[in-house]
Structure 1
Amino acid sequence: MRIVFIIDPLDSLKPYKDTSLAIMREAAARGDELFVAGQHDLFLRHHEARLKVQSFQFSNGNTSWYTLGDAFEAAPHAFDAILMRKDPPFDNEYLYSTYLLEQAARQGARIYNNPAAIRDWNEKLAVLNFPQFAPTFLVSSEQSLIRAFLAEHRDIVVKPLDGMGGSGVFRLRHDDPNLGVILETVTSHGQQTIMAQRYLPAIVHGDKRIIIIDGEPLPYALARIPQHGETRGNLAAGGKGVAQPLTARDVEIASIVGPVLKQKGLFLVGLDVIGDYLTEINVTSPTGMVEIAAQTDCSPASILVSKLHHSISHS
């Protein structure tokens, strides 16, 4: 198989923990031919989608952990699969990339995840599709509405709709002396729409990442447990990742959400679950595979590559 990974700059990745690289290692071990591209290496020449790529190999050299071939231009459909693994934020450039990838798909390219679904399933707002699992929430830029939501629930979390890794997330209590300035900051003085959710005390036991591959969950979730004194469990915010078997509630959520994701062409997804509640659906570049593999007998990257090969051979 010839597989392209659209990822962030290689030197910005952490080889010991990056999920994209774990997938690439597994694919390479199976003899797949790997290529890498950046977000802006995808372009249109008139109506034709084109992609500038470089061949990629892992290296044991002293100066670098990878080697690259010369860059060349090709049609996206010349490859067996293209995995879009560019990290958020989901800004205008990311939006434009989904349009270009969608055109590539029309011309025969196999894109994982489906670019139209990435665009349509905002990682915070996607819980709207499963309100039975979501905690009570409010989406607004209006500070008076957010204040009223806080007055009702007394303890809430506010977060931007386009962030990642816990950036821009605040916990607010009804008596917070910094309430005004925090709301001004997160809403850009009423110009930016945010999500407010009722605070879930179960966060102390971890913000669980359930990885869904081709509609089915892995048997283990990665509970990201906040540091002492911290609200956010995100690994990027210092949370500790602990692999745990799925609970009955986790399985219930995944069994309902997974088939819908598969139908939409969302091949690799990370569900965020706190306690009994689904809080986010990560469709851009979900992580956690390396930590689960290190702590359990489960090999997420192997499962993904097997399912990817199956999907390609049956498409």
Structure 2
Amino acid sequence: MKIAFIINDHSTEQPNYTTAAIGYAAYKRDNDVYFIGIGELAYASNGHFSARCKTIKGSTFKSQETFFKAMQKEEFSRITSEDLDVLFLRNDPSDEINDRDWAQNAAFIFGGIAVNDKVLVINHPSSLASAVNKMYFQHFPEILRPKTIISRDQKEIKDFFKEQKNKMILKPLQGSGGKNVFMMDKKNEHNLTQTIDAICRDGYVIAQEYLAEAKNGDTRLFLMNGEPLQVNGKYAMMQRVNASGDIRSNIHAGGRPEKVKMTDQILELAEIVRPKLVQDGMFLVGIDIVGNKLMEINVFSPGGLNIMSQMYEEDFATEVVKSIERKVRYKNLYSNYLYNSRLATL
């Protein structure tokens, strides 16, 4: 198959990222692999999706790092939706805030054009467009979520703070990677007004119940086709332990990855999330769990799959590619009878 990955930018994408791991796994299985930066997307005069891309062929690589670095050195070539079987949207819109606002919605728009050309687009672009901020999380059953309000009103947020016995989490509605996440309590209550104002500059504020278990970090679990991703009985999951004195457990924010065992409680949370993810065509998703609650559902570019593969000595990325290959086979067998949103999670 011919599979293209949309990334934010070639200059910021790293060889050890999850996208590179999946791309390398696809390459090893004799698929044609292409990487496209957001700024390289185009709409051709004949009505098709078009893009400048980077690809490499005819070489053997011993690791995803050597594969990706070699691919990055290649000259740009061009590909269109007529050539592609799969378009995997792996860019993170929150990385474009302020610097490249025009790039936040581009992948969904051009992904929709590719869908019209019968390309399998994952995750489903229309659903991704509705999930561009954390409000998407509020459409899942309340039993999954910490108590939350979303507002720009100082009084409403401060009243929630008192309701939560002077301890809560503040973060922006749009963002990821632990950026601008604050734990407010009696010790820093004097900064509450300033903190709310700072987050409000970029939009709405999420005020969220503080979960005591968060001091131990969180658990990142990958879901594929709505089910926990596993290979040989080992799950694609890890405990992300907070750096000392930091409430954020994201790896990019200094969190430390550790092995973690699957529990019935985590499986139950995953089962409750599954129906909506399947309905929305969310093929590959990362859920972040604290205690018996979900803190976040990452539907754009969840990371850590390469770390988990090393940790458990299992090739999770290849399992992802095998699932995509099956979808391409279904698409070819059924021609125009399967909608992209349904095919994405078959």
The normalised TM-score by structure 1 is: 0.91
Report the AA paired with residue 77 of structure 2: F
Aligned-pair CA distance for 1:118 = 0.7
The residue aligned with 2:210 is 199
Is 2:221 aligned against 1:210? yes
Is 2:196 aligned against 1:183? yes
* Identity within the alignment, %: 26
Is 2:73 aligned against 1:66? no
CA contact (8 A) 1:165 1:237 kept: yes
More strand by share: 1
Report the AA paired with residue 81 of structure 1: V
- Whole-angstrom distance in 1 between the partners of 2:156 and 2:168: 13
Aligned-pair CA distance for 1:92 = 4.5
CA contact (8 A) 2:44 2:50 kept: yes
- Whole-angstrom distance in 2 between the partners of 1:10 and 1:45: 22
The normalised TM-score by structure 2 is: 0.84
The residue aligned with 2:18 is 19
Aligned-pair CA distance for 1:52 = 2.2
Is 2:163 aligned against 1:152? yes
- Whole-angstrom distance in 2 between the partners of 1:300 and 1:92: 33
- Whole-angstrom distance in 2 between the partners of 1:232 and 1:312: 38
Is 2:263 aligned against 1:247? yes
The residue aligned with 2:92 is 87
The structure 1 residue matched to 2:116, chosen from 87, 106, 126, is: 106
- Whole-angstrom distance in 1 between the partners of 2:111 and 2:186: 44
CA contact (8 A) 2:196 2:205 kept: no
Structure 1 runs (4+) deviating above 4 angstroms are 57-62
More helix by share: 2
The residue aligned with 1:258 is 274
Aligned-pair CA distance for 1:51 = 2.2
- Consecutive unaligned residues of structure 1, counting only runs of 5 or more, are none
Is 2:305 aligned against 1:289? yes
2:161 match: secondary structure: helix
Aligned-pair CA distance for 1:69 = 4.5
Q: 1:49 to 1:214 in 2, by over 3 A?
A: same
Cα distance per residue 1:57-105 (max 9 Å; x no partner): 576799x831355433332242111111112316542213312211221
1:138 match: secondary structure: strand
Aligned-pair CA distance for 1:306 = 1.0
153-162 or 47-56: which moved more?
Answer: 47-56
Cα distance per residue 1:261-309 (max 9 Å; x no partner): 1221111111111111012111110111111111114322021011111
1:251 match: secondary structure: helix
Is 2:175 aligned against 1:163? yes
Aligned-pair CA distance for 1:19 = 0.5
